[in-house]
């Protein structure tokens, strides 16, 4: 459902036109986990991330009468979340980071379909370790594309970088992961990794 623009648009309309609380809660439930993980990668606190996601949805409710003007609600929610995270960092840390690639992002990694890859726990661990060693921006982009199922253009819009940068960062991540795997699995992962 998260990648179904028609379902999201339907919820968006119900909130904007009818102030439908059921639709609002459904939208919150739909986005909470991914937005929480995204925010946690910035602020390093589960409680703070949860509070920021709540603030994002409070903001959404406050502007509900303008919701129909938003073409891509998913990108909009991630942009608000990113801005709230950066505001939180500025308020709560003495030396806030100024750029995304300076943030140490320890994202929670989970592969979409490990069964599909037919791989062991050791190999999953190897993949997770490789992902943790990626540069912060590369890691975040990889997470947004592979775990959150976002399109390159959506990630580019949220992070204010080019689509080419997103594509290159995903390619770097996939190559590094494939290089750590046995040849047969690496090839399979590499093919699945292209988008």
pLDDT band at 178 (very low <50, low <70, confident <90, very high): confident
Reply yes or no on whether the pLDDT at 115 is more than 80.
Answer: no
What is the C-alpha separation between 155 and 79, in angstroms, rounded? Answer: 10
Confidence of residue 191 (pLDDT cuts 50, 70, 90): very low
Give the lowest-confidence range in 58-62, 94-98, 114-118. 114-118
* Statement to judge: residues 77 and 111 lie in one domain: no
pLDDT surpassing 60 at residue 156: yes
Residues 119 and 176 occupy one common structural domain: yes
CA 47/CA 65 separation, integer angstroms: 29
Question: Of 34, 65, 92, which closes a domain?
Answer: 92
- With a pLDDT cut of 90, the percent of the chain lying above it is 55
Instruction: Find out whether 66 and 146 touch, Cβ atoms under 8 Å.
Output: no
Q: 20-34, 115-129, 130-144: which has the minimum mean pLDDT? A: 115-129
Boundaries of domain holding 71: 5-92
Residues 63 and 107 in one domain: no
Residue 3 token pair: 């990648």
Same domain, yes or no: 68 and 86:
yes
Distance, C-alpha 90 to centroid of its chain: 21
Give every CB contact of residue 107 below 8 A, 6+ residues apart in sequence. Answer: 37, 40, 41, 131, 139, 140, 143, 147
Residue 109 placed within a domain = yes
Distance of CA 156 to the CA centre of its chain: 12
**Over 70: is that where the pLDDT of 9 sits?**
yes
In-domain check, residue 97: no
pLDDT of 118 > 80? The answer is: no
Question: Which of 92, 115, 147 is where one domain is finished?
Answer: 92
The answer for residues whose C-beta is within 8 angstroms of residue 7's C-beta and 6 or more apart is 1
Model confidence at 94, pLDDT cuts 50, 70, 90, reads: low
Closest CA to 80 of 99, 61, 108: 61
CATH number at residue 73: 1.10.1740.10
Which whole number is the average pLDDT over 173-194?
Answer: 64
Instruction: Single out the residue in 70, 92, 114 at which a domain terminates.
Output: 92
Do residues 106 and 188 share a domain? yes
| Domain at 107, CATH number | 1.10.10.10
Name the strand (E) or helix (H) holding 24.
Answer: helix 21-43
Mean pLDDT of the chain, nearest integer: 82
Helix 121-132 with 163-180: angle, nearest 10 deg: 140
Report the Cα 69 to chain-centroid distance in Å: 23
Compute CA 175 distance to the chain's CA centroid, rounded to the nearest angstrom: 20
């Amino acid at each position: 459902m998260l990648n179904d623009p028609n379902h999201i648009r339907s919820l968006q309309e119900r909130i904007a036109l009818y102030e439908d609380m059921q639709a609002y809660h459904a939208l919150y439930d739909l986005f909470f986990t991914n937005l929480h993980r995204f925010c946690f990668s910035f602020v390093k606190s589960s409680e703070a991330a949860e509070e920021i996601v709540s603030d994002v949805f409070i903001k959404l409710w406050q502007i509900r009468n303008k919701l129909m003007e938003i073409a891509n609600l998913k990108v909009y929610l991630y942009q608000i979340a990113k801005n709230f995270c950066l505001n939180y960092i500025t308020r709560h840390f003495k030396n806030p980071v100024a750029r995304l690639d300076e943030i140490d992002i320890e994202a929670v990694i989970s592969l979409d379909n490990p069964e599909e890859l037919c791989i062991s726990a050791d190999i999953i661990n190897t993949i997770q370790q490789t992902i943790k060693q990626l540069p912060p921006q590369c890691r975040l982009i990889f997470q947004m594309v592979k775990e959150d199922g976002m399109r390159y253009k959506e990630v580019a819009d949220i992070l204010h970088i080019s689509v080419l940068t997103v594509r290159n960062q995903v390619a770097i991540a996939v190559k590094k992961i494939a290089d750590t795997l046995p040849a047969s699995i690496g090839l399979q992962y590499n093919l699945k990794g292209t988008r």
